Chain A
């Protein structure tokens, strides 16, 4: 009579999901290991350019990051021109000297000569602001720099 009467046999048996937690845990461990918590929250667009002759930056704790790029969508009130970001906030070119001094002061003295400045600059930025940053770094004698790039071919971008 009833349309929804259970069939006695011939139904598909339920899929065994006992191994599901194992699979999920595997993924979980992968992401836990691969995760690097971001040090700075970016207020700018940061679409890095490509290069293929890259060297790896080792010793992450000896790297100072300087970001530059256009303010991202949430920060449109700061204009559409490329800006510099140091730590968590927008900065001017003149702030770089004090930023470098603060970074140097926070490291052990014998490690200061090994500090590298990583320039994470958006690909669409003009070189003017990058030149200003470089000039400022020369003034404070922070000469080791690294243009951070993604790995890829330069010719077909």
Chain B
């Protein structure tokens, strides 16, 4: 007896079912933001803070009208990054042999001593505050990238990306040491004062 062919299943409504699911997921999807600026808050200490020379502090003030005051002078946001780089990379006391700054004795001694102090008022908008923080972090990143490029022929961001990449084939411990070295050369001393 000849074998009867199985009747074909009607798949016409499969699209409808798939659409239903698709619309459900479309509606429930919120692509969550999971990136940002990492910072570390200073711990609350009872001890007196050490006295720091005025020339080693780069004061950035944001007032209630979102105006930017850098070292008591107004500045546009777009110039802040360059100003911060010049301050950090100054190398006034000559102990920093890799600094490319002007070696101005009136500005910071070396990147290890240079501190950026960011002050804000209660009325400052968060958006502006983040923009300023971003520029200051960018200044550190530029300097670290240059330093890493000179020492290891690779930018700092690239090195950090490699360190976090599980598939990176190179020597991780060595890379981590190199990252530490760069961080030591240009420590991120960014203080947020209330």
A interface, CB within 8 angstroms of B: 17, 20-21, 24-25, 27-28, 31-32, 34-38, 48-58, 60, 116, 118, 120-128, 130-131, 134-135, 137-139, 141, 143-151, 154-155, 157
Q: A28-B22, A146-B39 are in contact. Are A135 and B125 (CB under 8 A)?
A: no
Known contacts A17-B15, A25-B18, A127-B123; A55 and B43 CB within 8 A of each other: no
Q: Do A154 and B135 touch (CB < 8 A)? A: yes
Stretch at the interface among B30-38, B107-115, B176-184: B30-38
- Counting chain B residues whose Cβ lies within 8 A of the other chain, the interface size class is 35 or more
* B71 CB–A CB distance under 8 Å: no
B141 at the interface (CB under 8 A from A): yes
> What is the interface of chain B, defined by CB distance below 8 A to chain A?
11, 14-15, 18-19, 21-22, 25-26, 28-44, 62, 77-78, 120-127, 129-131, 133-135, 137-138, 141, 164, 192, 194
**A31 with B125: CB separation less than 8 A:** no
Q: In the complex, what residue of chain B is closest to A116 when comparing beta carbons? A: B38
> Contacting A49 at CB < 8 Å: which of B22, B30, B35, B130?
B130
In contact, A24 and B137 (Cβ under 8 angstroms): no
| Inter-chain contact A37/B127, CB cutoff 8 Å | no
